[in-house]
A and B are shown apart, each in its own frame.
Chain A
Amino acid sequence: MGTLIVVLILAAIVAAIIRSIVKAHKRGEHPGCGGDCGSCGHCSHSV
Chain B
Amino acid sequence: MGIRIALAGNPNCGKTTLFNALTGSNQFVGNWPGVTVEYKEGKFKGDKEVTIVDLPGIYSLSPYTLEEVVSRNYLIDEKPEAIINVIDGTNLERNLYLTTQIVELGIPVVIAINMMDVVEKNGDKINTKKLSEEIGVPAIEISALKNRGLKDIVEAAVKAAKEAKPQSPKHRFEGSVEHALAHIEELCLHSIDDENVQRWYSIKLFERDEKIQEKLGLSEDVISHIEKDIVSCEKELDDDSESIITGERYNYIGTIINGCVKKASRGMTTSDKIDQVVTNRFLALPIFAVVMFLVYFVSVTTVGTWATDWANDGVFGDGWHLFAIGSSQYNDAAEEFTANQLIVDGYDLYVEENGSEPTGDFEYPVEDEETAAVEYETATLVDYEAAAAYVEANEEPDPADYGIWIPGVPVFVEAGLDAINCNDVVKGLILDGIVAGVGAVLGFVPQMLVLFIFLAFLEACGYMARVAFIMDRIFRKFGLSGKSFIPMLIGTGCGVPGIMASRTIENDRDRKMTIMTTTFIPCGAKLPFIAMVAGAIFGGAAWVAPTAYFLGIFSIIVSGIMLKKTKLFAGDPAPFVMELPAYHWPTASNVLRSMWERGWSFIKKAGTIILLSTIIVWFATFFGFVDGAFTMLEEDQIDHSILAGLGKCLAWIFLPLGFGDWEATVASITGLVAKENIVGTLAIIYGASGDVYETMRAAFTDASGMAFLAFNLLCAPCFAAMGAIKREMNNTKWFWTAIGYQCGFAWVIGLIIYQVGRVFTGEGFGIGTIFGIAAICCLVYGIIRKDKYNK
A residues adjacent to B (C-beta < 8 A)? 1-3, 5-7, 10, 13-14, 17-18, 20-21, 30-47
Contact = CB atoms under 8 A, between A and B. Distances in A.
B598 to A, nearest CB: 5
B265 to A, nearest CB: 38
B460 to A, nearest CB: 13
Contacts of A1: 420
B720 interface: yes
Nearest to B727: A44
Contacts of B190: none
Given A42-B500, A44-B727, A46-B34, A33 B601 contact: yes
B33 A46 contact: yes
Contacts of B608: 17, 20-21, 31
B600 A40 contact: no
A34 B608 CA distance: 10
Nearest to A47: B30
B594 interface: yes
Contacts of A20: 608
Given A5-B420, A6-B417, A14-B615, A30 B720 contact: yes
Contacts of B612: 14, 17-18, 21
Contact of A38 (B29, B674, B727): B29
B594 A43 contact: no
Contacts of A14: 612, 615
A36 B503 CA distance: 20
Given A18-B612, A46-B31, 16 more contacts: A3-B422, A3-B423, A13-B611, A21-B608, A21-B609, A31-B608, A31-B720, A32-B609, A32-B721, A37-B31, A39-B598, A43-B496, A44-B36, A45-B36, A47-B32, A47-B33
B36 A31 contact: no
A43 B34 CA distance: 11
A38 B597 contact: yes
Nearest to B495: A32
Nearest to A5: B420
B501 interface: yes
Contacts of A44: 36, 500, 723-724, 727
Contacts of B718: 32
Interface string B408-422: 000000000101111
Given A37-B38, A43-B31, A32 B605 contact: yes
B499 to A, nearest CB: 8
Which of A7, A35, A38 has the most B CB atoms < 10 Å from its CB?
A: A38
B351 interface: no
A1 B556 CA distance: 57
Interface string B484-516: 000000100110110011010000000000000
Contacts of A38: 29, 597
B422 A2 contact: yes
Contact of B36 (A2, A10, A13, A43): A43
A32 B718 CA distance: 8
A7 B724 CA distance: 36
Contacts, number: 114
Nearest to B503: A42
A47 B426 CA distance: 41
Nearest to A18: B612
Interface in B672-707: 673-674
Nearest to B611: A17
B543 interface: no
A3 B429 CA distance: 12
A14 B503 CA distance: 36
Nearest to A28: B31
B652 interface: no
A22 to B, nearest CB: 11
B430 interface: yes
Interface in B570-627: 594, 597-598, 600-602, 604-605, 607-609, 611-612, 615
Contact of B601 (A7, A10, A36): A36
Which of A2, A31, A42 has the most B CB atoms < 10 Å from its CB?
A: A42
B306 interface: no
Nearest to B35: A46
Nearest to A46: B31
B39 interface: yes
Given A38-B597, A47-B32, A30 B494 contact: no
Contacts of B615: 14
A7 to B, nearest CB: 6
Contacts of A43: 31, 36, 496-497, 500
Closest 10 A/B residue pairs (Cβ): A32-B720, A2-B420, A34-B601, A39-B597, A42-B500, A30-B720, A42-B497, A3-B423, A47-B30, A34-B604
A41 B38 contact: yes
Nearest to B721: A32
A11 to B, nearest CB: 11
B789 interface: no
A43 B426 CA distance: 38
Given A3-B423, A30-B719, A42-B497, A47 B724 contact: no
Contacts of A32: 496, 605, 609, 673-674, 718-721
B600 to A, nearest CB: 7
A45 B719 CA distance: 16
B420 A39 contact: no
A10 B720 contact: no
A17 B30 CA distance: 22
B522 to A, nearest CB: 16
A7 B426 contact: yes
A20 B598 CA distance: 19
25 contacts: A2-B421, A3-B420, A7-B426, A10-B426, A14-B612, A20-B608, A31-B609, A32-B609, A32-B674, A33-B720, A34-B600, A34-B605, A35-B604, A36-B600, A36-B601, A37-B30, A37-B31, A38-B29, A38-B597, A40-B494, A40-B497, A42-B497, A44-B36, A46-B30, A47-B39
A36 B604 CA distance: 10
A44 B501 CA distance: 11
B13 to A, nearest CB: 17
A47 B674 CA distance: 25
